[in-house]
Structure 1
Amino acid sequence: MSSRAYSIVHKAKDPPTASPEHLPLPEANAEAIDFLSSLKREELQMLFFSETLDMISEAGEPQGELSIEVKRGKHKDESGVMSDCIFVHAFSRGFLDKMLCGNSLLGYLSWRLEVRELHGHEFIKFPILPLERKATLLKQDDQLVLTRSIKEGEAVKTGVIVFPWSSVKGFISKATNLVLLRVMAWRRMVPSNARFLALDTEGKLCHSTYQALGFQTIQVGRQQAEVFIVEQTVHSEEGIPMSCQYYLLPDGHLAKRIQVGSPGCCIITKMPVMREEDEIEPRPVFEKKPLVWEEDLELLSKFLERKEELRLGHTSYLRKHPEAQALMSDFLLFLLLRQPEDVVTFAAEYFGPFAARCPPTPALRSSHRPSPFRSLERGRGSCPGAD
């Protein structure tokens, strides 16, 4: 984050009326857009952590502190709908030539690092004319609205710029930059020939590029660490380019930051706990084994309990209905005496007379030999066992 950061202000209630002064607007190239499209939620979640760096002067004297936090958050849009997002908070406060200065940044990003809402604030307590800058970026429907205010002493200047959402594809806000640097550190690479979009100090769209400056070993406390150096440059169309160099540890932690042309830098004094990619273990494969329930004490116990429950239930029913047992005994007795070849037909003829809708028929006809005087025609509509 450069020395020009922004802070929280209220959302603009009135519809924006201003628009960019010059056309056509610069555009991000395909390499930049493809790089942003390659981001995955799982990868970004590995980059959620907080870090703190000390601000020191050229002489090595402490000047202040810079803290950066990236985590999962919730964002409420204008219609009141809540959604998951990436929350970025950066804050610094220190001294510049013995003058108190500070800045803060609060951003809500989509999982493609698109800006949903961003607030920023910067101040420098000059003895005569204190300077204060505020800015808000807000996605409204199909537009990105920038509201800026600059206060020098008692004089305040405000302005609103509206960008069509289609024109900010590949846009890198200050909050997006902090997350994108962690991605580059994690991947150990910078997208080749990528031209992103950014805002210059006047709030105008311009190109932003990243360049890999190689690897370097630096001293962090009592330890040595290899860092990946990335330089970001914002190419203002009206002013001079502004560059910042970031020294990044393999897990995305920022070890050092130098703004080209600015005295002093930000640096860590203690090696952070390095984050490593979680190894996803393969799913365990369980072989299908035959179930021998008799050997399972729990299943065997349940089986015996159910068996005893059914036995007691059956015994109770037969005790209450002795005619059932007498009926079955009578049937078995006749079955053994007659010993018919067709047991099913014999049973149908035996129990047929008990049916209320069937007329009475001779009992156990099928157990006798066929009569030679039996009619060849069968009566229609008769019950089973009636012929």
Structure 2
Amino acid sequence: MAEGILKQILDYSNRANPYPLYEELRKTPVFHDGTGPYVISTYHDIQSLLHDPRLSSDAHNLAAAAGDPLADGEGGGGGEEAALPPSFLKLDPPEHDRLRRMTNRPFGPPHSPHRIENMRDDLHGIVTGLIDNLGDPGRIDLVDQFAYPFPVTMICRLLGVPREDEPRFHTWADTIAAGLDPDPDADPAERLRVTHDARMELGMYLAGLIEERRKNPQDDMLSELAAGHGQDDTMSTMELLSTSALLLIAGHETTVNLITNGMLTLLRHPDVLADLRENPELAVPLVEELLRYEPPVQLLPQRTPLVDIEVRGVTIPKGSSMWLILASGNRDPNRFEDPDRFDPYRKDIQHLGLGSGIHSCFGAPLARLEAQLALSELARRLDNPRLVEDPPPYRRNAVLRGPRHLEITCDGIRP
């Protein structure tokens, strides 16, 4: 095992292509350097652990995390709601199950089976408007001009944020997203203050909107969450706040990366881009292969065994910090044939890109649909798009990996 492999994975100079490091890591499927986290890097082990009830997502079960480079935020582990109580993402059953069940009632099956599909026209309208307003086709930043505004606008519509207030949400999302990325040149105290202030402003706005929706319900997700369904299926105001913030921030970050990683991959594979332009139905398997090949969430840090557990003959002590390297499992040759090849025509794409088990990505149906529509419309309407810079500059975040800017040039924008 290479010396300091975890430091190399977190090192920004390797952000553009961490996959050779993951290949090295898989040679020691349960890696531990004696002080840091236990790192799991192979597909079947990760899949098994994601379904193991002995593994906790609650930081309260984590012993002192000495030696864990993500324990203090290095590498961009980040939390989504430091000014609010933990969301269900960071809780264990039964509280996790209660909050996730209540959140799912107005979001998806069985209670709201058509909510996401019924948003297809709204999604298409947002995508069309953003592409119409890209401006000079000779210089487009697909992150700032498209991938960032698209999902936050959609989440505002989902929650029921008034249209006139959507720009405020964009500002808060941008500020909080910036706070998730390490910045060695910035004053840490000032960054913390700015991010905290944005979260507080977001929380106060949501509190007011929740109160308004309780008095005057609308046909939106926030109204249904605020209404509740009996004593055991009603969230407190603070739970509503943390859940709403989770939907905004976590949903936004993963979708931005999925779209930008997707366009970067397509621009590097012009034959697939051309096929998508002619066959928009290819977007469905293509997004699944993207979630395997370039997942927006690279790893899940700080999972914690509630008891001593054994993986591959290695005993991992109770309270230890564990990293599950999803992106490494997705490139495991013992699971996928020719795993370093981007192939949307694969017959078997059972990836780890959206997690698995009880903490699988809550917003997966919406993220999939957003990426499918975004990539198929960009492929259809951008005339001969080319990368300005390859590799592009990446976010400093090692967990939420994606380009910070994706500048392209094209010959024009089709109607």
TM norm structure 2: 0.20
TM norm structure 1: 0.21
Structure ranking higher on relative contact order (CA contacts 8 Å, 6+ apart): 2
Rg larger in structure: 1
